[in-house]
Structure 1
Amino acid sequence: MGRLPGVVMKFVARLGHFVRSVQNGKQSPFRVRWARMALTAWFFVAVYSYLSLYHDESIKNYLSSVKETLRLHSTTQTSAIEPKKLYQKLRYDTKFEFLEPYTLEDDLLTVQTGPHRGQRLESVDELAFYDADPRLIWSVYTDHWMDGTQVDTTELTQFSWYDWADFHDWNKLASLSSTKISCDFLFEPFFNKEILDQIESEIGEELFRYGRGDYNSASFTHQKDQMVFENLEVYCKADGSNEGNTTSSNRKFSSGFQVMEMFEEVRPEVYQFLGRHFMLSTLRNPTSLTILNGRNAPIQVYVNQSSRANIAQSGLLNKFVGKHRKDDQTKMFNHTAYFKKFLASSFAQKNQVTINELSDEERNAYSKQIFHLQPSDFEFDAIAKIKELRARKDSLSFHETTYLESLEFSTSNHYAFDTKYFNEPSALKDFASLGAHHDHRFFNGAIVKDPYDSQLKLNALIRTFQKFLKSNGLISWLAHGTLYGYVYNGQTFPWDFDFDVQMPIRHLHILAQHFNQTLVVEDPSEGTGRYLIDIGSSITTRINGNGKNNIDARFVCVDTGLYIDITALSVSSAMISSKFSDVFENDKKTLGAEIVHRDPNLIANETDLSLQLLQVRIDNDPSYSNEDKKLVKTMVDRSNADYRKSTSPEKLYSAEQRYSFNYDLQIYNCRNNHFMKFDEISPLVLTEFHGVSAFVPNRYITILRREYRVPLKYGFIGYKGNVFMPEFRYWCVSSLLQTLANKKQEHIDWNIIDSSLNNLKLDDIRKMYENLAQSGDSKVLSTLYNSRKLSTYRLKEIDIQFGSNSTSEKLNLLTNLHNNLSSHIQPTFKDPYLYSTERRAWERLEKEESNLTSLAREIDREIAEKLQNWTESLHDKTLDFYRLASVDFNTECEPIYVAGESSRNAVFSQDPLLVE
C-alpha cells in the first residue's frame, strides 16, 4: 500500500472503520445510504484511478469486499423515506399504501433477520425462511392461477400457513445457526433465560416484543412442568431436518422440531411460539381461500388438504422468478397489478362465489338505509336440508359436502352430549383471563397488552368481516357490547378485545354451507387481513343445551387469534325471559294450548327427549359409559334447580308448547338465552361501524337497556377507569385526562385546565389538545385524529335519528348522509401489516437519529392544531366535512351535543323512531 498517496491511505483506513461499524450494526441506515452514494461514487473512481496506475491487486480485492458490504447494507435495514414523512405516515395516515416497492434483490434475496441479516443470496433456492410479504404471496399465487396450464378450476391449490399468516418472530428461530434449542424450550412455563439470551445475542434483537421486560426480574427461575416432560414426545418431536437438539445452517423453513399438541400452562410468549409451530406442522389446512374483490362477489379457490409446501418448497416461487427475473425490480412484485389481471381471468370468473339461496333483495341489502327481515329468516329445517343435499350428493361442492356431514352429525346427536367446539387458551400463566379472547390455534403473543396494537388489529378484523358480509349479501347486526360501543362514536369500546354480532339462523346456515373453514383474504388493494370462518358442530341445537356451545361461529384472525363471536337467533323451545311476561300474557289467550308449530330439527324419540327421559333411557343401557350417565344426571339436577328458580311465564308449559308459543310470538333467542322480538330487530338500520357499512337493530336502545344500564345522556360518562369525552367523541383513560388537565402543575410548560373535565369550555379543549401533543402520547393523538370523521359522522347520525323530524325526513337525511359522507371516512387505524413494517422502520431510526423526538413533537403539535380547528368548525357549524353532501349538515337537525356548552340531554331515553 505504500505506493498509494497518503490522503488515499487515510481514506481507506476511515472507510474500513466505517464498514466494520456497518457490519456491527452501529451505523444509521441513512448514513449507510449516504455512504453508498458518496463513498462508492467518489472514492472508488479515485482509488481505481490509482490502481490502474499501480496495479495493486490486494487493495483492489479489499475495496471490492468493501463495496459488496456497502451494497448489502445499503437498502435492507430501513426505508429510504424521509423521517418526517415516515412519522406522518406511521401515525396520521391510514391509507393502504406501502412505503416502498418490494423487490427481489433488496427484500426477498436479502436476509431480513437473524445472524446473517443483510446477507445477499444468489437465488431463491438458498432461502431458508422469509417474511410472507403480501406483495410476494399475491404476486406468485395470482400469476400461478392465471397461468395457461391451470385451466381446470377444480384443481386444488397448494397451501402452507407459512404463506398466509404472520411468522415474523418464528423466523428468528429458523434463522439460528449456532444456538441449540430443543422441544424443552417451548414447554417450560417460561423461556429458559440462558438460552433466550443466547438466541437474542445471535440474532441481534429481541425474540418477542410483549412481556420481554419481565425476564429481567430476579424471580424468573428455571423450572419444568414434570407432567409434560414425562410425555414430551406426545407434544413435540424432531422434524428430521437435523439430529433433534441442534440447529443447522443447512436447515430450511424449520426450527428443528414439530409440535403435535398444544399446552396452556405456559406464559403467553411461550404459547406464541408453540402456536406457530403447531400451525406449520399439525393444524389442518382451510377448505378454501375466499378472496374478497371490493364490492363484487368474492373468488373461492379450493385448497389441497395434504399440502404443506410454501411457495419456495412447492416450486411456485422459482417458477415466478424465472418468468419475471428480467422485469423492472420495482414492478416485479406489483401485486395489485397482478390481482387486477387475475380478476379478469377465466379462472377467477369461473370461481366466483354464487349463493343461490339468497334473494336479489338480500344481495342488495347494504344499498338501502333500512332492510326488512322476514320471520322465516329465523326458522330453519335441517332435516329437509339434509334431504335436499343428499339428493344432489354427486354435484356438491367441497363446502357443501362438509356442511352435509355437519348437519347429519348435529341432528343425530342429543344436545346433552355435545362437546365444546371452540377453545381458548384461558389457562395461560401471568395473563389473567385475557387468553379467553383468543382462539388457541392462532394465538401469537400478548398483543392485547398493548391497547393501541390490539385496537389496530381489531379494527382490521371487523372491517374485513363487514366487507365480507356485504360482498356476499349475508345479513348480520351488531350485538351486546359491540352494539353498546357503537352508540357513542361508531366504534367498539377501546377495552373490548372481541366483537359480538348476531344473524338470523337462515343466514348462519348459508354461511356454513358456502364458507365454513374458508380462509377469507382481504382484497389486496384494500388490506392484508387473513381470517378463518369456523362454524360449530352443533348449530341445529337452538337451546342452551349443556352450556358448552353458546357461540355458533367465529371469524378468527390467523395472525393473532382475536375473533368475532357470531350467534344466530331462531325460534326455539327455550323458556322466554320474565322481561317478556307482558307480551306473553297479552297474547296468551289468542295462542291457545294447541301445538301448532314443531321444531323441524328434532328426531322423534331420539334428539327430542327431555333430559329426564334421556336419563331413564341410558341408566340401564350398557352402551353408555358411566361418565355419560354422570353427565346427564348432573344436567338433570341443574335443570330441576333452574326450573324451580325460573320466573318465566312459559315455565308451566312443555318444550313443544314453548316452541309453538315462541314461533307465534315472534320471540327469538340465541343459545345463551338472549331473547328479542322480531319488531325490535327488523327493520335493520344501515350505519357506519369502524368506517364500513353495518346494520344495527331497529330498537337498539331497548335491546341494550335490557342487557345493560345505558345512561340517558350523550355526554361525559365514566366506566372502570375510562371516560367518554364528548368533546373528543372518544373513550379515554381517566388517568391520562387527569395528567393532561395539569391541575397540579406538574408540567411547567403545559397549559393548566381550570374547569372541570365533565364540562370543558371550548378554550379548554384547545389546551387539552396542546397538552396531548406535548405529552408525547402520539398513539392517543393519532386515534383521535384518524377517527375524527367517523365519530363526527356518528354524532350527526345521532342528531338525525333522535331528532324531531318525521320518519320519512329522517330516512332521507340518513340516506343522504351515508351516500355522500361515508366514502370520505378513513379507517381509524392503519392496516396491521403496514403498521408493523413502518413501526420497525421508525424504531430503527430512533436508535440512530438524535433529533427524531423533537421532529415527532413538531408534527404532533401540527395535528393537535388541526383537531382544534375541527372542533371549532364543528361548534361554529362551518365544518367542511358536513358540506360534502348535497345538503349542508352543519345546519341540518338541532345538535344533541355542542362542545363547550353545558348539556343536559336525555337522548337515549327511548329508541330512535325511524319507521312508523
Structure 2
Amino acid sequence: MRVTRLCRRVVSASMVMLLMVWLIKSIDPNSNVEKQLKLLKSQGNPNSSRLMWILSKPELAALFQALFLPETAGLNSEFWNDDYTLKDLTESTRVASGNKLWGLRFPYYTFDARLTAAVYYKHVQNSQHRGEIMFSWYDWKNLGSVLNPLITSKPQENPQCQDIFEAPEESQRIVSSSNKWGSFPKASLENSLLSSYCTNSQKSPIGFEVHRIQPHSDAESLVLQSSSFLFSGGLVPKNLVFLSKDGPAVHTSVKNSAAYLSLASSDLLEEFLSSHDELESTLVFDPLKEIKNIHSKPPFPTPKPGRGFLFELSPEAFEFDLISQKELLSQSEFPFEREFSYLSSLRFAQSYDSSGDNKFKYFYESSSIQNHPDNFQNHMDIRFFSGWVPKWKRLRTLNSLMRTWLDFTKSENLTSWLAHSSLHAYLYSGSQFPWAASQNVQMPIQDLHKLAMFYNQTLVIESPSEGYGRFFIDVQPFIFSRDHDESLDKVDARFIDIDTGLFIDILGVGFSSNALTNTRIMSQLRNERNRNPDVLTPSDDESGSKPLEDQASYKNSRFNRANEIVSEKSGKSYLLSDISPLRISKYHGKQVNIPHRALTIAKDEFHIVPWLFGPKQRQEKHRFVPALGSWLDLPTLKALLGPRRVQEAHTITASQLEQALESLLEKSASHCEEMLSWFNSQDQFKFRLEELAIESSNLDLNSKYELLQALQTNYRDLPSSYKDPFLHEKKERKWEECTKQANTAVGSQEYSNIIIKEVMKSLVKAFVANHGLKLKHEEISAHDNISQLAPTSLYNLRENSMEPLLEAPQALKADFTL
C-alpha cells in the first residue's frame, strides 16, 4: 500500500506543471475552469505548504536581522526562506473567464521577477544560437496589480475608452458607459481624437487598447494608461541583455510575437520544466542558479581587458558626421535590423530637421501629472509610471539604476562618466544626494551613437547576484548634433527603471557651433592667448565668404574645434582637457569614470564650499554629518541631536553619537530604515575619504595617481548601500505579516517595534565601537609618501569632548589635477 501511494505521489508531482501548461493551452471554453484549476492545485506536495505561526520574541528578532540586516545564516533557514516555487505559480495562476471573442483566454498570475528571469535564463542556456525570443510586458513588469481586476471582470463591467479619456463632445459623440468606472478620473484629450489614443477591443482581455498616453492627467489615470499601453504592445523592446557577474552579458533579440501572452501558457515555461528532473511543487525558480549554468559550460567566457586607471579620450570621440555615417550604413548590403533601424532614425531626424519644424518632445515625464505630492515625483517616465514613489523606494531604485548602468557600460565597453548633480554628490560621499530625483551621466557623441545603434529600445536585466532590476534604454532621434536649439528635450537618452519610471539622464558631449558662455573657460583661453598669441580667438575666422546667417555658426564651430571645446545639447560647454583623461573611482560602490577636473567642472555649475564638513556645509535643507558619512535633513538632524546642537553636528564624539542614535530609536522605530542606510553606506564613504585624503594632500600629481590606483586595486566592487527594491518590498510584506500576527497575539501594536529597537541598539553599539570610520592608509600599499597622508585625515570620531578637534581640511578648495 505504501509503495502504491509513493508511486502515485511521484507520478503526480512529476506531471504537475506539464499538466498545468496542458490545461491552460487546451481548456475548453465551456468547461468548468475552476474545477480544473482545483484539480491542478491538488497535485502539489502537501508537505511543502508554508505554515504561519506566532513567532516568539527571539524568532522575531532573528527574522528582522535576516530580512533587513546584511546577509545572515538565518536567511537560509526553511521557515524564513521566501523562494519562488512551482507551488507559488500554480496557486496564483488562473484563466480569465467571460465571453471574450478570441481563441485563447488569457492566463494570468501574480507577478514575480524571479520567475521570469529564471525561465528566460534557462531558455538562453538551452539556445546555442541565441535566436529571437518571445516577450510580453505582463511577464516583466507587475501589470497584474492594475490589470488583473479588469481581466477577471465581466465584459459589461470593463471600462471603455470613454471611461478613461475625456474627448471633446463635438468630435466624439460617445456616451460614457454606465459601469463602476463612470466616476474614474479621466484624462482630457482637449482637441485630439479619442481613436488616436484608445480603441475598444473585444479581443483584448481588458476590453480596450491604449495607443498613446496623455500625461496631463491624475496619477490614478496615468497608472491605468501606462499599464494598458504596455499590455497592448505599445512599446516592445528590440533586444534583451542579461548581465552576469561571472561572465559576459548574453544578448537575445525579441521576435514580434502576438500580444496577450504570458509565461503561464508559453513554451518557455514548458522548456524550463522539461529541463529539471525534480518536478516537485517545491521546484525553485532560481535565476542565480540558471545564469551560473550559462557560463559553466564551454565555450568559457574570457574576461575583457581593463582600460587602466587613466583613459585618454581622443578628439575624434567627440566628432560625428551625419552624412558620412548615413552613407556608410547605406552601403551595407545585408545590414542587421538594428543598423537598419538606426539608419531610418538618422534619415527621419535629418529630414525633420531640414524641414524647419520645431523638434517635438520625445520624453514625457510625470511633471505633467496633476496634484503631484513633491518635486521628487517629476522625474518618472510616463510609459512606466506605476504611482507615486516614497523616499526610500526612490533611493533604492536610483541606487539600483546607477549600479546596473555602470555594470552595463563596463560589460559592453561603452564610455560614460558622472555629470551634473551626480558628479556633485560624488565629491562628498561617493553616493547620490538623498534629495536626488534622478541621476546624470555623459557620453562622447561617438559612444552615444553606439548606444543608439546597438542598444536603443533594449531591456537590460540586472545580474541576479546584484538584484532583479529591469531597465529600458531609450534614445531619442535628434542626437546627431550638439548645437543648442529650442527642442524640448535636452537629454539624448535615458536608462529607465520599468517598475517605477525613474531614470538616468544620458547626455551626449561633442563639438558644436554653440557660442562659448562659460566664463571660466573664456578667462582661461584669454590667459593662454596672452601667453601664446597663436591661440585662435572667436574673431580669427574665414567666414566672410559665407552667407551672413551662417557666419556666426561657422565662426563658433571653428573656434570650438581649434580650442577643443565640446558641448551638450543644452549648450553647456567643457574643455576636452577638463574631461580627459578619465580616471577610475567608485560611485555607489561600483567602478565609475570621473572627469579629469571633476571639482572644476562641478564648481562651474554649483556653489561648493572648501570644507567637506562644518556649519557652512548645508544644501537643500540638509547638512553633511561626517560621523555618519551622510546628508541628514534638518528635521531628522533636530530629532537626532536636538534643535540647539544642529550647528555642532560635525563635532560629535563617540559617546554622544551612541547616545543620540539610541535616543532617536526610542522616539520612533520608524527611523530604522534611515539608520540602516547610514550604516550600510560606511564602506562607500570610507573609500571616498581615502580618495579625498590623497587628493587634498601636498603630494605631486604622479604620486597621487599612484596611490589612487593602488586604492582601486585593493578595493573591488563595494557592497550596495540599499537592498534590491523588488526583494525589499517582498521582505517588508513578510515582516508586516509576521508582526501583525505577533502584535495581535500579544495585544500591543508596539511589540514588534520594541524588538526592532533592541536589534538596532546592538547594531548602534557595534557601529560606534568600531568608530564608524577610521582611515587605514596601510591598506592601500606600502609607499614612501604614505606618511604624508596622516595630517590630511578628514575624519576621526573623537572618544570624548576633551580630545581636540581636527582642523577641517580644505579638501574641496582646489582641483587636485590643476
TM-score computed with the length of structure 2 as normaliser? 0.80
Structure 2 equivalent of residue 23 of structure 1 = none
State the match for 1:796 in structure 2: 690
Alignment partner of 1:591 is 2:532:
no
Listed one character per residue, the Cα deviations across residues 491-521 of structure 1 (whole Å, up to 9, x for unaligned) are: 1111111111111111111222211111111
User: Closer, same or farther in 2 for the Cα pair 1:571/1:727, shift >3 Å?
Assistant: same
Kindly indicate whether the alpha-carbon contact (under 8 Å) linking 1:377 and 1:507 is maintained by their aligned counterparts in 2. Answer: yes
The aligned residue for residue 700 of structure 1 is 598
Do 1:466 and 1:692's aligned partners in 2 also have CA atoms closer than 8 Å? yes
Quote the Cα distance in structure 2 between the aligned partners of 1:818 and 1:230.
Answer: 56
Q: Which residue of 2 aligns with 1:90?
A: 67
User: What is the CA distance between 1:330 and its match in structure 2?
Assistant: 4.4
Q: Is the 8 A contact 1:92 1:785 kept in 2?
A: no
Cα distance between partner residues in 1 of 2:268 and 2:43:
30
Counterpart in the other structure of 2:747: none
Q: In the aligned structure 1, how far is the partner of 2:646 from the partner of 2:371?
A: 41
Q: Which residue of 2 aligns with 1:726?
A: 626
2-side partners of 1:113 and 1:719: how far apart?
A: 52
Partner of residue 100, structure 1? 81
Q: Residue 432 of structure 2 aligns with which residue?
A: 492
DSSP 3-state at the match of 1:109: helix
Q: Is the 8 A contact 1:568 1:670 kept in 2?
A: yes
Q: Retained in 1: the 8 A contact 2:96–2:105?
A: no
CA distance in 1, matches of 2:787, 2:681: 19
Give 1:691 shift: 0.7
Q: 1:303 matched to which residue of 2?
A: 254
State the Cα distance separating 1:839 from its structure 2 match.
1.0
SS at match of 1:574: coil
> Which of these residues, 117, 121, 141, is aligned with residue 142 of structure 1?
121
Partner in structure 1 of residue 202 of structure 2: 240
Q: CA deviation at 1:300?
A: 1.3
Asked if 1 retains the 8 angstrom alpha-carbon contact of 2:118 and 2:290, the reply is: yes
Q: Given the alignment, which residue of 393, 396, 420 partners 2:361?
A: 420
Instruction: Determine whether 1:569 maps to 2:467.
Output: no
Structure 2: where are the runs of 5+ without partners? 1-38, 98-103, 168-176, 744-750, 799-804
Does structure 1 residue 408 correspond to structure 2 residue 347? yes
* Alignment partner of 1:760 is 2:737: no
1:793, distance to aligned residue in structure 2 (A):
1.1
Q: Is the 8 A contact 1:300 1:353 kept in 2?
A: no
Which of these two proteins has the greater Rg computed from alpha carbons?
Answer: 1
Contact preservation (8 Å) 1:128, 1:175: no
Q: Distance in 1 between matches of 2:445 and 2:71?
A: 36
Amino acid at match of 1:846: T
Question: 1:671 aligned to 556, 569, 575, which one?
Answer: 569
- What's 2:145 paired with? 169
Match status 1:131 vs 2:71: no
Following superposition, the deviation at residue 709 of structure 1 comes to 0.9
- SS of 1:796's equivalent in the other structure is helix
Equivalent in the alignment of 1:397: 336
CA-atom RMSD in angstroms? 4.0
1:110 aligns with 2:4: no
Aligned residue type for 2:740: K
Give how far 1:399 is off.
1.7
2:22: which partner in 1? Answer: none
Confirm or deny: 8 A CA contact 2:45 2:282 kept in the other structure. Answer: no
Query: Contact 1:188–1:266 (CA<8 Å) still a contact in 2?
Result: no
Query: Aligned partners of 1:595, 1:157: CA distance in 2, in Å?
Result: 55
Question: Does the 8 A contact of 2:443 with 2:506 survive in 1?
Answer: yes
Q: Return the offset for 1:422.
A: 1.6
2:135 aligns to what?
159
1:731: Cα distance to partner?
0.6
Deviation at 1:864, TM superposition (A): 1.3
Query: Does structure 2 retain, via aligned residues, the 8 Å contact 1:128–1:174?
Result: no
Q: Superposed, which structure 2 residues align to 1:332-371 within 5 Å? A: 332-343=284-295, 364-365=306-307, 368-371=308-311
- CA-to-partner distance for each residue in 1:307-362, whole Å, 9 max, x for gaps? 4322224332234335547435545423323222334568x98xx999xxxxx9xx
- Length-normalised TM-score, structure 1: 0.72
Query: 1:409–1:443: structure 2 CA closer, same or farther, 3 Å change rule?
Result: same
2:139 is paired with a residue of what secondary structure? helix
Shift of 1:101: 5.8
CA distance in 2, matches of 1:805, 1:289: 47
Q: Tell me, in whole angstroms, the C-alpha distance in 2 between the residues paired with 1:790 and 1:171.
A: 40
Contact 1:335 1:524 in 2 (8 A): yes
Counterpart-to-counterpart distance in 2, 1:704 and 1:485: 10
Do structure 1's residue 830 and structure 2's residue 723 form an aligned pair? yes
Q: Which residue of 1 aligns with 2:243?
A: 292
Instruction: Indicate which of 819, 840, 860 corresponds to 2:733.
Output: 840
The answer to whether the 8 A contact 1:239-1:257 is kept is: yes
**Are the counterparts in 1 of residues 93 and 264 from structure 2 also a CA contact under 8 Å?**
no
Residue pair 2:86, 2:282 contacting (<8 A) in 1 also: no
Instruction: Give the alignment partner of residue 439 of structure 1, picking from 376, 381, 388.
Output: 381
Alpha-carbon contact 1:93-1:830 (below 8 Å) kept: no
Give the corresponding residue for 1:11. none
1:168-225: CA deviations, max 9, x gaps?
A: 5225525755794413665589xxxxx9x999xxxxxxxxxxxxxxxxxxxxx97766
Looking at structure 1, the residues matched to 646 and 443 of structure 2 have their Cα atoms a distance apart, in angstroms, of 48
Identity over the aligned pairs, expressed in percent? 25
Matching residue's letter, 1:134 = A
Alignment of structure 1 residues 486-635 onto 2, 5 Å: 486-579=426-519, 580-585=521-526, 586-587=528-529, 589-591=534-536
Deviation at 1:364, TM superposition (A): 2.3
CA shift in 2, pair 1:458/1:569, >3 Å: same
Residue 561 of structure 1 and its aligned partner are, at CA, apart by 0.8
CA separation of 1:685 and 1:547: change in aligned 2, threshold 3 A? same
In structure 2, what is the Cα distance between the partners aligned to 1:670 and 1:594?
A: 24
Deviations 1:687-709 (A, max 9, x none): 11001010111111111111111
Cα distance in 2 for residues equivalent to 1:315 and 1:480: 46
Segments of structure 1 that go 5 or more residues without pairing to the other structure are 1-63, 117-124, 190-194, 200-220, 243-253, 355-359, 598-604, 614-652, 745-752
Aligned residue for 1:321?
Answer: 273
Question: What is the distance in 1 between the residues matched to 2:188 and 2:332?
Answer: 53
Q: State the SS of the aligned residue for 2:248.
A: strand
Residue 871 of structure 1 pairs with residue 765 of structure 2: no
The answer to whether structure 1 residue 787 and structure 2 residue 681 are counterparts is yes
**1:793 to 1:112, Cα distance in 2 relative to 1, 3 A:** farther
Deviates more, 1:78-87 or 1:698-707: 78-87
670-679 or 842-851, which deviates more: 842-851
Shift of residue 654, structure 1, vs aligned partner? 2.2
CA distance, structure 2, for counterparts of residue 535 and residue 100 of structure 1: 40
Instruction: Give distance in 2, aligned partners of 1:171 and 1:859.
Output: 40
Q: What is residue 642 of structure 1 aligned with on the other side? A: none
Tell me if the contact between 2:658 and 2:768 (Cα under 8 Å) persists in the aligned partners: yes
Q: Distance in 2 between matches of 1:223 and 1:549?
A: 29
The number of aligned residues is 724
Partner of 2:813: 909
In 2, Cα distance between the equivalents of 1:868 and 1:307? 58
Aligned: 1:658 with 2:556: yes
